[in-house]
Chains A and B, each alone.
Chain A
Amino acid sequence: QVQLKESGPGLVAPSQSLSITCTVSGFSLTSYGVHWVRQPPGKGLEWLGVIWAGGSTNYNSALMSRLSISKDNSKSQVFLKMNSLQTDDTAMYYCARARGGSYWYFDVWGAGTTVTVSS
């Protein structure tokens, strides 16, 4: 069964950094890309970036300077790191599998992890 599960800190202080781990099962990161998407409370979806099976990445240019995505294939984990968080970074953060391995849309999503930026 294909699954993705996000784990994060829950609460982050303003100006601090965020680290979220996406642990996948039922498929290999050497065959599939994984995207990150976030959703502020009561609002729409924003694509953050993707790490492809081969390890290359693409980022939303609006966030590129603060964002880093990496992975550990052996542990089936993908990592999202974002610097200099502000209150408008408060959101549900999702990881999602690229359909077919390399497509720019998402066929399986994690349940998400809530991140609140507050002092």
Chain B
Amino acid sequence: DIQMTQFPSTLSASVGDRVTITCRASETINGWLAWYQQKPGKAPKLLIEKVSTLDSGVPSRFSGSGSETEFTLTISSLQPEDSAIYFCQQYKHYSSLTFGGGTKVEI
């Protein structure tokens, strides 16, 4: 299995801050990376697919970048409603999907 490592596990920031979360894969995943946002008591919600393609309705303050084994999710100007846990997921191996451990964003 491809292991996905996220860091930091928790970050605290203020409204308006630029926030970056990193996801590292144990091998190159050719850009097959998605990001999800999960709020307390809710299901995860797809934010980004294929490294940088925003899902429909996702605010433009969210962006994704990276290649090979290292990827980042950036929130350009943190908003109160962005308080959540964020997960990355690789899908290079179509038959074995794996997630990062999550990053909790506190405001």
* A and B found bound together: no
